Amino acid sequence: MKSRKIIIFTIITSILFLAIPQKSSAQMYVSAQSAILMEQDSGRVIFEKDAYTQRRIASITKIMTAILAIESGKLDKTVTVSSTAIKTEGSSIYLQEGEKIKLEDLVYGLMLRSGNDAAVAIAETVGGSLDGFVYLMNQKAEEIGMKNTHFANPHGLDDHEDHYSSAYDMALLTRYAMNNDTYKKIAGTESYRSESSNDKWDRVWKNKNKLLTSLYEYSTGGKTGYTKRAKRTLVSTAEKDGVSYIAVTLNDPDDWDDHINLFETAFKQYKMVQVLEEGEIKAVKDKFYKNKIYLKSAVEFPVTKKEEDLFKVEYKLTKLKEDWQRNQEDVPEIVGEAKIYLDDKLVDSVPIHFKHAKNKETKSFLDYFKNMFMAMTGVGKDG
């Protein structure tokens, strides 16, 4: 009887224990109002929380300011600092009116120290005016696909009501920017020395991003932000074993720890697998296309162990035209797309290219001699 009671007690205890939510070490969670974790190469969203809501973003705005400055091709240009720039409120690199400084140094001051004065000086140089630069910002946002974003200034201060973005959009922007080697270098710089133009002193800037400078060994860059209305905002990037992630949090009182948790969980749970090989597509049996279509690069995708066998690939090819059979030179470069499905959901598509035969002109010695003779005698020349 006593042993029976012990067994019943054990069963009840086990059921109650299982009913209690267990906090897993591999669980993703954030304190932020909005957040996202995106894999850099594929763009796969690993984690999201209210990621499409429009919110104030503070100084992570400066990622757009930086990439526009870099893409302007004017980094070597010497900028004369205006009175408007030095009067900008908030965080500063303490520029002086009339000071001459390279645009490249301004971008470092913008990203490492979050200089609002640097943001205005950059905007005036690249856009011709603040309004001109804001136009460029929104034009680039539209180009990238940032559908829940509107920029009204180059720094993120709360001086406009119509300045906002979303966690998802900021991840898109960062993914775009991180494909630029110059941006990647600047965002991942821990400290930078800006040489003085007046021989008084050099400025030395240490990056405000603590993940990069001290907290997280796999950090590769990012941008911090804070205003009274936006609260703490943070974009950060990390790479481990060739896999890169982008994390964005908006209004997050515990952003450093949240970003580390997101990265660490993703690095443990996900790995990159090759879905499609570079080169000739052998799965297509169509007589015309067989041995003539290929992918320019391999396709990899981040998945958990359980997802590895859930991929399907569908090849969509352009319907053949009659004249293609007679002359393959009429076949376009891109003749379709390979659609990749994970658990029956479309996750990526890549173009299928057609392999055209190379026309090799073979000239006989007689042709060579004939062309030389015509060149020497002037035959065949205009006039």
- Same domain (yes/no): 165, 204: yes
Residue 202 is predicted with a pLDDT of 82
Residue 377 is predicted with a pLDDT of 52
- Same domain (yes/no): 95, 166: yes
Residue 22 lies inside a defined structural domain of this protein:
no
Q: Distance between CA atoms of 86 and 137, rounded to whole angstroms? A: 22
Ordered DSSP codes for 78-131:
EEEPPHHHHT--SS-----TT-EEEHHHHHHHHHHH--HHHHHHHHHHHHSSHH
Task: Kindly state the DSSP code that residue 382 receives in the 8-state scheme.
Answer: -
Residue 16 is predicted with a pLDDT of 39
Residues in the chain: 383
Pick from 196, 216, 194: which is nearest to 204 by CA? 194
**Residue 298 structural domain:** 273-354
Residue 285 is predicted with a pLDDT of 86
Residue 5 lies inside a defined structural domain of this protein:
no
Residue 14 lies inside a defined structural domain of this protein:
no
Residue 373 is predicted with a pLDDT of 53
Residue 25 is predicted with a pLDDT of 37
SS3 349: strand
Domain CATH for 149:
3.40.710.10
Residue 376 is predicted with a pLDDT of 53
- Same domain (yes/no): 265, 278: no
Q: Distance between CA atoms of 217 and 213, rounded to whole angstroms? A: 9
Residue 383 is predicted with a pLDDT of 39
Q: Is 317 exposed, middle or buried (0-12, 13-18, 19+ CB in 10 A)?
A: middle
> How do residues 164-214 score in pLDDT, each as one tens digit?
999 999 999 999 999 999 999 999 999 999 986 665 668 899 999 999 999
- Same domain (yes/no): 240, 344: no
Residue 359 is predicted with a pLDDT of 52
DSSP H/E element including 177: helix 167-177
Residue type, 372: M
Q: Distance between CA atoms of 152 and 161, rounded to whole angstroms? A: 8
- Same domain (yes/no): 62, 150: yes
**Residue for token pair 């870099």:** 70
Number of domains in the chain: 2
Full pLDDT tens readout for the chain, 383 residues? 545 544 444 444 443 333 333 333 358 899 999 999 999 999 999 999 999 999 999 999 999 999 999 999 999 999 999 999 999 999 999 999 999 999 999 999 999 999 999 999 999 999 999 999 999 999 999 999 999 999 999 999 999 999 999 999 999 999 999 999 999 999 999 999 998 666 566 889 999 999 999 999 999 999 999 999 999 999 999 999 999 999 999 999 999 999 999 999 999 999 999 999 999 999 988 889 989 999 999 999 999 999 999 999 999 999 988 888 888 888 999 999 999 999 999 999 999 999 987 654 444 555 555 555 555 555 444 43
Residue 299: both structure tokens together: 């396709």
- Same domain (yes/no): 95, 183: yes
- Same domain (yes/no): 68, 185: yes
Residue 365 lies inside a defined structural domain of this protein:
no
Angle subtended at Cα 65 by Cα 63 and Cα 71, rounded to the nearest 5 degrees: 100
- Same domain (yes/no): 325, 338: yes
Residue 329: both structure tokens together: 């030179």
Supply the residues annotated as catalytic: 59, 62, 114
CB-based contacts of 183, cutoff 8 Å, min separation 6: 66, 67, 70, 177
CB-based contacts of 319, cutoff 8 Å, min separation 6: none
**Widest CA span in the chain:** 121
- Same domain (yes/no): 239, 306: no
Residue 291: both structure tokens together: 């041995």
Residue 127 lies inside a defined structural domain of this protein:
yes
Q: Distance between CA atoms of 235 and 223, rounded to whole angstroms? A: 5
Q: Distance between CA atoms of 299 and 275, rounded to whole angstroms? A: 6
Residue 369 lies inside a defined structural domain of this protein:
no
Q: Distance between CA atoms of 90 and 62, rounded to whole angstroms? A: 14
> How do residues 260-300 score in pLDDT, each as one tens digit?
999 999 999 999 999 999 999 999 888 899 899 999 999 99
- Using a cut of 0.85, tell me whether the model's pTM lies above it: no
Domain CATH for 311:
2.30.140.30
Residue 132 lies inside a defined structural domain of this protein:
yes
- Same domain (yes/no): 319, 223: no
**Which domain-ending residue is among 253, 269, 285?**
269
Q: Are 207 and 213 in contact (CB under 8 A)?
A: yes
- Same domain (yes/no): 44, 69: yes
- Same domain (yes/no): 62, 177: yes
